[in-house]
Amino acid sequence: MRSAESLAEEQTLVRQVQNGSEDAFGSLVDRYLDEAYAIAVSVLRDAHDAEDAVQGAFIRALERIDQLKPGSPFGPWFYRVLRSTCLNLRRREALRRHEEIPVSAAGGPDPEKDLQRELTRERVVIALGELPEMQRLAVTLYDLEGYSHQEIAGILGIAVGTSRAHVHHARRALRRLIGPDVGPANAEDEDTE
């Protein structure tokens, strides 16, 4: 979740981008790149395709930045662009599968630890892939990116209660798929936003 000061700074950046500032757009990219990648991976389930989608979404966002209403937050608008880009990519192409080189193959300091981390990540990615798309997006935005249900509702175009339900059902399914140690310590506790 972004602070009021951060949102005001972001709106200034958006106005600068709308006036042609490439540096301001670079600042917006820096703010959203990691979150955008995590969301794209949760939709596409492939790191290479996610990178392509994120790059495409930032290009589309730059081309359409004038469509963002003054005073509107950039994040939810951009995530709708990203989601659309991901869905278009998934529909347009039969996604190719890539064999990733494990981190341990690069000669990291602790190959066993790297391998265990990679296996855990793969289990989580596979389990997320078993979830319906909206549950996968909601739980990624809520638990991994820290967005509120109100913000998720805006990003995904759903009701706040629907966001809560998606997160609840996704957590339950993840615990069933990969064990009870998934998610935040109090995953059963619902927030009281």
For the chain, list the domains and their CATH numbers. Answer: 4-92 (1.10.1740.10), 110-178 (1.10.10.10)
Amino acid at 170: A
- The mean per-residue pLDDT over the stretch 43-49 comes to 84
Instruction: Note the pTM of the prediction, 2 decimals.
Output: 0.56
In the predicted model, what is the mean pLDDT of the chain?
79
In terms of pLDDT, which residue wins out, 129 or 78? 78
Q: Look at residue 181 in the predicted model and tell me its pLDDT.
A: 55
Q: Tokens at residue 79, please? A: 């995530």
- The mean per-residue pLDDT over the stretch 3-14 comes to 83
Angle 40-70-15 from CA coordinates, rounded to 5°: 80
In terms of pLDDT, which residue wins out, 98 or 63? 63
Residue 51 DSSP one-character state:
H
Q: Alpha-carbon distance 53 to 16, whole Å?
A: 24
Q: Alpha-carbon distance 157 to 138, whole Å?
A: 11
